[in-house]
């Protein structure tokens, strides 16, 4: 998948989730690794290599998408919607929190938050 497509899908879902602030999207693992070092964000090995996408919160949040792990556009859409919910809920949001999965489903089905 092309970086431009990934960036636009992530931004689309971020807007549908109600996030309108600045946002960076990257698909390069080396760039993501450098950003985590600069921001001093501790990530475990499983977080670095087993996830489909990660959001680093900050003044300008960064969403990293592991393109090689997404086989279809539907997979990309689910990951983008998932990260959009993290953006909306802010730092410290957990995937298992009440209503998180429902918010992701709402976005994937074309709704807005």
Domain ranges of the chain: 3-108
Average pLDDT score, the chain: 90
Q: Crossing angle, helix 73-89 and helix 3-16, to 10 degrees?
A: 50
Give yes or no for residue 47 having a pLDDT over 70: no
Q: What is the mean pLDDT of residues 94-106?
A: 92
| Domain 3-108, CATH among 3.40.50, 1.10.10, 3.30.2010, 1.10.287 | 3.30.2010
* Confidence band for 77, pLDDT divided at 50, 70 and 90: very high
Give yes or no for residue 36 having a pLDDT over 90: no
What tokens were used for 89? Answer: 């809920």
* Confidence band for 40, pLDDT divided at 50, 70 and 90: confident
What pLDDT is recorded for position 43? 72
């Amino acid at each position: 998948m092309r970086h431009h497509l990934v960036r636009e899908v992530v931004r689309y879902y971020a807007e549908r989730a109600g996030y309108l602030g600045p946002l960076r999207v990257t698909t390069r693992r080396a760039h993501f690794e450098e950003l985590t070092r600069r921001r001093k964000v501790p990530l475990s090995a499983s977080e670095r290599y087993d996830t489909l996408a990660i959001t680093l919160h900050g003044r300008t949040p960064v969403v990293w998408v592991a393109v090689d792990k997404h086989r279809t556009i539907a997979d990309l859409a689910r990951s983008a919607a998932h990260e959009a919910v993290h953006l909306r809920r802010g730092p410290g949001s957990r995937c298992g929190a009440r209503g998180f999965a429902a918010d992701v489903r709402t976005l994937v089905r074309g709704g807005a938050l």
